[in-house]
Amino acid sequence: MSYVDEVISMVEKKNANEPEFIQAVREVLDSIRPVVEAKEEQYRRDALLERMVEPERQIKFRVPWIDDEGQVHVNTGYRIQFNSAIGPYKGGIRLHPSVNIGIIKFLGFEQVYKNSLTGLPIGGGKGGSDFDPKGKSDREIMAFCQSFMTELCRHIGADTDVPAGDIGTGAREIGYLFGQYKRIRNVYEGVLTGKGLTYGGSLARTEATGYGLLYFVEEMLRCRGIGLEGKIVSVSGAGNVAIYAVEKAQQLGAKVVTVSDSNGWIYDPEGIDVELLKEVKERKRARLTEYAANRPSAQYHEGRGVWSVRVDIALPCATQNELRLEDAKMLVENGVLAVAEGANMPTTIEATEYLQKNGVIFAPGKASNAGGVATSALEMSQNSERLSWTFEEVDQKLKGIMVNIFRNVDRAAKRYGMEGNYVAGANIAGFEKVADAMNAQGIC
């Protein structure tokens, strides 16, 4: 058995009830085969892959909090410090009822290679809780965040581990978490990113993941002589990534006709009204039915269905495994040109392979959604030098980073004879840097 296969089957046995983690590991290890085979003896002796699939540290803790009626609730908190070979652990905090150790491990594993691709000095980590923010009052959100940080604060720090937002964690939650960290540790430092602009946040961080996704897509299409002007686009999700993907796509001349949330989806043939979407989702924290009620051209449908719409470009920006084989088949039948992931691992392995086999240009999230964490690293730089850069400065840097990621991914794929396979390119380019740094630092 090859070394890669040995490690995949070891991971499957050891983490049998963590399907998303197995999926993420399998995808990466499968596509770095040629790199590993070239140095198989050395990597096997050094157990390099075994070390890469085992988090450096896993923290699991109790999060008790009191609701507005005086009832106590208990959630489970997690922080996985996956790999610090190239910098302090970096990655978001996900608050969603689906969170468990396997989800956080898959996200942490992805984060290691994504962060490597940014070219910036950040290792990989991820955290979260099975807490459900839906329907909670501000007061309850604050109670949860303060309790979560009361434990987390002893494990993190500006030079150790720097969490940020993810699903369920936005500006409000980051504010409460930051306040509690400062109160307990008595240090004012850039321990979190995605902070508000009055207390160390970076301009353009809010927009960064969605904008970055479009900068990546723009470059990926540009090198084939294709522009975004006039393209019809579907977006799934209606959170931070989706909103700013819609905004940038429309700024670049495309028309976005869908968005979705956990209850249903919108088809808006006139193009999504992004200001209305922000009003509904960012300010009112309401459902998409509210969008439809205020937009005559919009149709609201219950359930799933975004991928049934005929489009040129599909941007899954909601959550893991939301684009499945049957969706990929519909997209191909409708002549889709490109699929680019805004969320983390939104496309199943079978769907990814189907799209690639049918000539669809496919951008994997760890490359195409890296703009968020890259801008987090820019926020860390600004915090370290105690300065703030202008929106234009950060946005320009973000654009440069995304173009560079595309070029590195493209080059890595070509180097191993897999031109146009950006899944392989991203995994290889991300892996090479981490492997090199781990190798240089000895067995640890």
Distance CA 83, CA 101 (A): 16
Q: Which of 105, 114, 126, 231 is catalytic?
A: 126
Return the residue nearest ligand GLU (CB atom): 92
Query: Which residue, 75 or 344, is less far from ligand GLU as judged by CB?
Result: 344
In a 13 Å sphere around the CA of 73, the CA atoms on its Cβ side amount to 21
Instruction: Write the single-letter amino acid at 77.
Output: G
Q: Encoding tokens for residue 171?
A: 């500006």
Query: Which residue, 210 or 372, is less far from ligand GLU as judged by CB?
Result: 372
Query: Which residue, 246 or 317, is less far from ligand GLU as judged by CB?
Result: 317
Query: Which residue, 298 or 367, is less far from ligand GLU as judged by CB?
Result: 367
C-beta separation of 67 from 74 below 8 A: no
Burial class (CB in 10 A: 0-12, 13-18, 19+), 71: exposed
Catalytic (active site) residue 284: no
Closest approach, Cβ 191 to ligand GLU, in A, equals 12
Closest approach, Cβ 297 to ligand GLU, in A, equals 32
Query: Which residue, 77 or 165, is less far from ligand GLU as judged by CB?
Result: 165
SS (H, E, C) the chain: CCHHHHHHHHHHHHCCCCHHHHHHHHHHHHHCHHHHHHCHHHHHHCCHHHHHCCCCEEEEEEEEEECCCCCEEEEEEEEEEEECCCCCEEEEEEECCCCCHHHHHHHHHHHHHHHHHCCCCCCEEEEEECCCCCCCCHHHHHHHHHHHHHHHCCCCECCCEEEECECCECHHHHHHHHHHHHHHHCCCCCCCCCCCHHHCCCCCHHHHHHHHHHHHHHHHHHCCCCCCCCCEEEEECCCHHHHHHHHHHHHCCCEEEEEECCCEEEECCCCCCHHHHHHHHHHCCCCHHHHHHCCCCCEEEECCCHHHCCCCEEEECCCCCCECHHHHHHHHHCCCCEEECCCCCCECHHHHHHHHHCCCEEECHHHHCCHHHHHHHHHHHHHHCCCCCCHHHHHHHHHHHHHHHHHHHHHHHHHCCCCCCHHHHHHHHHHHHHHHHHHHCCCC
Contact positions vs ligand GLU (CB under 6 A): 90-92, 164-166, 193, 344, 372-373, 376
Query: Which residue, 255 or 433, is less far from ligand GLU as judged by CB?
Result: 433
Query: Which residue, 4 or 156, is less far from ligand GLU as judged by CB?
Result: 156
Query: Which residue, 193 or 383, is less far from ligand GLU as judged by CB?
Result: 193
- Residues annotated catalytic, as ranges: 126
